[in-house]
Amino acid sequence: MFYESAIEYVITILITSMEIGLMVFFWYKAMGLKKHFKPVHLVLVSFLYGLIFGILFILQERAPWRAPLTLLISVFIAFIFFDKSIAEKLLNTVIGLIVLTFCGNLVQVIPSVFSTIPSLFDTLTGLILFYLIALPLESVLYLTILHIIKKGRLYLPPKYWIAAIISFSLISACYIMLLIFDVVPETKQQAVLFTAALLGLLLLWFVLYFAFYFVCCYYTKLNEMNLIAMQNEMLEKYVLQKQESDRMIRLLSHDLKHNLLQLKALAGENGDVDMITEYEDMMAMHSMLNVGNDIANAVINEKRRYALCNHIDFQVAGGFSGGLTITRIDFCSLLGNLLDNALEAAEQVEDRSLRKVSLKIGRKDHQLLLFLENDYAVEPELNSGAFISRKKNRGLHGIGTLSVNNIVEKYDGVIENTFHDHIFKSSLMLRCYE
């Protein structure tokens, strides 16, 4: 061992702290912090953990309990700071430690492959070289695993997603077990073959995963686009039927009002107007809203009727002005999906007095402004910033949210979603006025 000065100790601890920092950052991106913790807390804990790990690294054989203690500290940090299920915490902890051990031990084989490279533990330069190779390798593996956890989970079928995680773990675990049982290459030729085989397996795993991911991603998005097109086509047909139906209802309502005036006058002569007044109030409650656009009227009035049937307080303010450039299909899909999501969330609230949905419509120059607010009982679930459906068949659900995002992007718009204290707010701005 070369540890002969305080400077060498400090450099070793600092570099190992960086290595631990990479692993803790991986956990942070994979699991997220609990609400009452802040990133600065994690930075401090990561530094202390790195300090302990560096000291244990220096002790080496003098600390046979180094591996159990590292595992114990890792599990402790994962369970205290991060916000996932127990199974996910254990999985990500094990993956982080596997990458850390795997890269460190793999790089140690390199000196036996290249005779010009000194043993990585013989000199300070050798140790620095060790980490210059190990840290980038760890970073690539952590980023790939994060991609599998975040993006791969969205597009890969569950069994293939699990297979991607398990296959990497098996490659790493087999190599670590070989080291534990001292099955290491004895000659340069064996070292070359051993290292080449290991790196080849890693490269093969890497290529197969991303190739399969891009294929699944392509077909998933193609399927989503087909579903959106079918949904929009059905929605447009329905809205056209609703427009005609609403037009007939308005004509009948107009005629009925005149008839009610005559009935009320006759009832007044007999001193019995209570029944007529009650009927007028009921008609007023079920009267149709007019927001200045026939398509919007059809969609909003249909959703309003659904809200009344399910005891949801449905409020609409503002209206649309002339000069809208958004297509009929996109307009139907945008309003329909936004209101469907809001009503579905509000309907789950047990207390009927708290079931509320509010839509505000405005305009700023060429921009259409929509502000939607609703109560919710179940807090939305996020994955990589995207909302995840909690329904059993997720493949067929969540299409509405995807359709809204596509329409917002199509019209150079922005959408902002926030939720706090059982109130969900959506703010949209689209460039769709002349």
**Count of other CB atoms within 10 angstroms of residue 24:** 23
What is the per-residue pLDDT for 427?
Answer: 92
Residues near 16 by Cβ (< 8 Å), separated by ≥ 6?
50, 53, 54, 57
Query: 280 is written with which tokens?
Result: 């007028």
Residue linked to tokens 């051993």: 194
Of the candidates 231, 214, 213, the one whose C-alpha atom is nearest the C-alpha of residue 399 is 231
pTM: 0.54
The pLDDT tens digits of the residues spanning 272-301 come to: 556 555 555 555 555 677 888 888 888 888
Q: Report which residue type is found at 312.
A: I
Provide block-wise average pLDDT over 10 residues at a time, the chain (434 residues).
59 77 85 82 82 72 67 83 82 80 66 50 59 78 83 79 79 66 59 70 83 84 75 68 62 56 58 57 61 83 85 90 84 87 90 90 90 88 61 55 85 89 91 86
What is the per-residue pLDDT for 22?
Answer: 84
Q: Cβ distance 49 to 77 under 8 Å?
A: yes
Residue linked to tokens 């001193």: 271
Query: 339 is written with which tokens?
Result: 């209101």
What is the per-residue pLDDT for 120?
Answer: 46
What is the per-residue pLDDT for 387?
Answer: 64
The pLDDT tens digits of the residues spanning 78-125 come to: 888 888 788 788 888 888 887 877 776 666 655 555 554 444 445 556
* Radius of gyration (C-alpha) of the chain in whole angstroms: 32
354-393 burial: b if 16+ Cβ within 10 Å, else e: ebbbbbebebeeebbebbbbbbbeeeeeeeeeebbbeeee
